[in-house]
Amino acid sequence: MKEILLCKCGELVLKGLNRRKFEDRLQKTLHWRLKKVGNFKVHGCQSTFYVEPLDENASMDEAMEVCRRVFGLVGVCRAVVCEKDIKDIKEKAALYLKDLLNGVRTYKVETKRADKRFALTSPQISREVGGYLSDVYAHLQPQMDDPQVTVRVEVREDYAFVHGGPIPGAGGLPTGTSGRGMLLLSGGIDSPVAGWMMAKRGLELGSVHFFSYPYTSEQAKQKVLDLAEVLSKWCGKLTVTIVPFTHIQTEIRDKCKEDYFTLIMRRFMMRLAEQVAIRQDCQCLITGESLAQVASQTIQAINTTNAVCDMPVLRPVIGMDKEEIVTIARRIETMDISILPYEDCCTVFTPKHPQTKPTMEKVLEEERKLDVEALIAEALEGIEKVTLG
Amino acid sequence: MEHYLDNAATTAVLPCARAAALAAMEEFGNPGSLHAKGTAARKILDDSRKALAAALGCKPACVTFTSGGSESTNTALRGAAQKNRHLGKHIVSTQIEHDATLNTLKALQNQGFEVTLVAPEMDGSVSAEAIRAALRPDTAVVSLMAVCNETGAILPLREAKAAMKQICPKALLHVDAVQAFCKIGLPMDIIDLMSLSAHKLGGLKGSGALYVREGLQLQPLIYGGNQESGLRSGTEAMPQIAAFAAAAGERMANFRENCEKMAALRDQLIVEAQKLGCKINTPADCAPHIVNLSPCVGRSEVYIRVLSDRGIYVSGGSACSRGKKSHVLTAMRVSGKNADAALRVSLCPETSEEDIDAFLSALADAKKMF
């Protein structure tokens, strides 16, 4: 039996004259991502994209895994392809959904008839198929209200499809339709979630990681690359720009007051991230800051760190509790990597009592002790890039 | 130039051990087979057992080859607890034991045994009085390491046995001698069970032995073809066994001079490290090959990386517990700063003065990073 994936578009169908742009981008994304797992044809019509395997080696399981992570889709159905003939539809439905139907007691059939030339109306098709299924599977009870399984029949232009309902898609808007954003990726729980949330809203991501060897380890760097790999399954190809950060940190430690260490360090990160963002055509920065979660994330601290860059800084988890962030981290499968014990640069030289209510004057006074421009230039000089996905 | 100073984690394979392993691979027969190939392998096995027994100072029948220290400890503790359960369900050990012991005891605790873990003194030693105080008439098993793998502390086995004779004379004494064999003299006359490992003395990984006092019968952990007198079934790991015996033989042949050489370097290391401002977490009377020291600033893993980049290899705490805080230093109530930066430097007879000097000068440089 030939199978096909029906990918249902989400929010983009509400777009007006530029809807085509969103659809094109989504189609391209599906095409590129599926290319890695096999030979598939992707074509779309009427808010659904069809993913058709072109040879036997194309694994439908892997294609499902790819499609459920593509932003812009709200659901993915794995369906059997039928001739537009009620007999073929009935028989294939019974055969294809055998395992699913054997595991439940109540069901109903719902039909969508896009091709109005088809001889039977939607309710007639549902009745025909339902009657046949009840004959084949004696244990099944039709139930219109909240059945365990809804068998869906879709009669389209060239073929009819039967499936047992969609699995949820990733939602959001197709990658890249909202521009590009530069994610500050630390290795913790919050930043991958923040990146994922903004990618979901259609941003294409770049990422920047600050690396403090030997204070932080090669494993810590690998951990960030592993996180980027997982993120890339959702948001596509992801480049991690690794910025050497050790000299900046030791300079801050040697010259500035201890309680301002973290703040001044964060200001350097924002400056560097913005520079990297400009070089890589990004229009915004993305951070995993959550208000008041740590000392450098109080509103006063954010004021002082935000002041060094002109680009908008998106902070999608700013109003979320840790538990809410963790729920998403588990869903997108970054959690298990994030909790590996390797230290990141943020925990090198942490002050005993960090400043939670800094003033701008004080921060500037401390920063004047450093040659900021030279340090930034030196760090940008040592950049290393790794592309995942 | 590399300076390997992590010999308590594992050692380089000695040339004689390597040769013995290769020979045992050539002579590939199963020692259980009756034909000539089997007989030849059986001879290697018998010779290896005799050689290891000679190195230990015991009868060959007391030596059971195993897959390593952890297996030996599991077999010994579970077997001893089972055997002596009629005496009581109380086991005494210390807080500074290796995880192989501590986690086996935890498993026994879940089976209803009561475990008392003696705390070390602040210098890392364990006092005989503290062990005595933990003993009870219903104590069935006492398990003590001969040398602590993290600090090099030597435990008072004889005094402990003397106390056992008074309080719980029938209790069995298990000694974890993984770090002690070939490094200090072992009181074989008082030990009932002893765990040994090959790769800490120039043998291969995946290889060890359990010493069982003559006349003592234990239940095995692994059942099968009744190899190793039924205590450890499974076709004998011939290359590992041959290598173990060869390495132990060579180490024991030069025991005294090896120990003296290592002890001299250890003393030099301690003095120089103290000059650099390091705290020494190793007690005064200790094994010749392990020093635990701490610069008291920064973190162990950073030192390990910086030293490693210069070809100098040490570990923080024990190599088995990377990233975790050392349970031994915690038990010694060592301060947080000290424990965070603690390093274990461990020597072997081949360690040279240059190795120690290279470590000290790299440590002095690394310390400036904090």
CATH number at residue A361: 3.40.50.620
Residue A174, in any domain of the structure: no
Query: Which whole number is the average pLDDT over A284-293?
Result: 96
Do residues A354 and A295 make contact, with C-beta atoms less than 8 angstroms apart?
A: yes
Do residues B186 and B194 make contact, with C-beta atoms less than 8 angstroms apart?
A: yes
Instruction: Indicate whether A322 and A205 sit together in one domain.
Output: yes
Portion of chain A with pLDDT greater than 90, in percent: 85
Position A346 pLDDT exceeds 80: no
Q: Which chain A residues have a beta carbon less than 8 Å from that of B323? A: 341-342
Residue A348, in any domain of the structure: yes
Instruction: Indicate whether A193 and A102 sit together in one domain.
Output: no
Question: Considering A146, A168, A190, which residue would you say is the last residue of a domain?
Answer: A168
Q: Which chain A residues have a beta carbon less than 8 Å from that of B306? A: 214
CA distance A267 to chain B (A): 22
Confidence of residue A320 (pLDDT cuts 50, 70, 90): very high
Residue A76, in any domain of the structure: yes
| pLDDT value of position B318 | 54
CATH of the domain at A20: 3.30.2130.30
Question: Considering A138, A168, A198, which residue would you say is the last residue of a domain?
Answer: A168
Instruction: Indicate whether A195 and A335 sit together in one domain.
Output: yes
Instruction: Indicate whether A146 and A83 sit together in one domain.
Output: yes
Task: State the ipTM, two decimals.
Answer: 0.73
Provide the strand spans (E) within A46-84.
Answer: 48-53, 73-82
Do residues A217 and A342 make contact, with C-beta atoms less than 8 angstroms apart?
A: yes
Residue A216, in any domain of the structure: yes
The catalytic residues of B are 320
Instruction: Indicate whether A226 and A308 sit together in one domain.
Output: yes
Interface of B to A at Cβ within 8 Å reads: 299, 301-302, 305-306, 309, 323, 369
Do residues B116 and B142 make contact, with C-beta atoms less than 8 angstroms apart?
A: no
Q: Which chain B residues have a beta carbon less than 8 Å from that of A250? A: 369
A213:B302 CB<8 A: no
Whole domain around residue A314: which residue ranges? Answer: 180-388
Pairwise CA distance, residues B318 & A70, whole Å: 45
Portion of chain A with pLDDT greater than 70, in percent: 99
A107-111, A152-156, A349-353, B74-78, range with the lowest pLDDT: A349-353
CA distance B317 to chain A (A): 16
CA B62 to chain centre: 18
B309:A250 CB<8 A: no
- Dihedral sign for Cα atoms in the order B155, B158, B159, B165: positive
Instruction: Indicate whether A201 and A103 sit together in one domain.
Output: no
Q: Given its phi and psi angles, is residue B133 left (phi above 0), alpha (psi -120 to 50 degrees) or beta? A: alpha
Nearest C-alpha in A relative to B309: A214
Query: Which whole number is the average pLDDT over A149-154?
Result: 95
Averages of pLDDT over runs of 10 residues in chain B (370 residues) are 96 98 97 97 98 97 98 98 96 98 97 97 97 98 98 98 97 98 97 98 98 96 95 97 98 97 98 96 96 93 94 79 77 91 96 98 93
Instruction: Indicate whether A26 and A68 sit together in one domain.
Output: yes
Instruction: Indicate whether A88 and A186 sit together in one domain.
Output: no
Instruction: Indicate whether A230 and A148 sit together in one domain.
Output: no
Residue A175, in any domain of the structure: no
Pairwise CA distance, residues A333 & A327, whole Å: 10
Could you read off the pLDDT of A183-215 as tens digits, one per residue? 999 999 999 999 999 999 999 999 999 999 999
Instruction: Indicate whether A237 and A147 sit together in one domain.
Output: no
| pLDDT value of position B321 | 47
Pairwise CA distance, residues B196 & A212, whole Å: 41
- Dihedral sign for Cα atoms in the order B301, B304, B305, B306: positive
CA distance B324 to chain A (A): 9
Instruction: Indicate whether A160 and A184 sit together in one domain.
Output: no
| pLDDT value of position B323 | 56
Could you read off the pLDDT of A114-142 as tens digits, one per residue? 889 999 999 999 999 999 999 999 999 99
- The number of distinct structural domains making up chain A is 2
Say whether residue A351 is in contact with chain B using an 8 A CB cutoff: no
- DSSP H helices, chain B, are 15-26, 36-56, 69-83, 99-110, 128-134, 157-167, 238-253, 255-275, 300-309, 327-331, 336-340, 353-367
Pairwise CA distance, residues B69 & B248, whole Å: 15
pTM recorded for the entire structure? 0.84
Do residues A267 and A308 make contact, with C-beta atoms less than 8 angstroms apart?
A: yes
Instruction: Indicate whether A147 and A187 sit together in one domain.
Output: no
Question: Considering A115, A135, A168, which residue would you say is the last residue of a domain?
Answer: A168
Ordered structural domains, chain B, with CATH: 15-253 (3.40.640.10), 255-367 (3.90.1150.10)
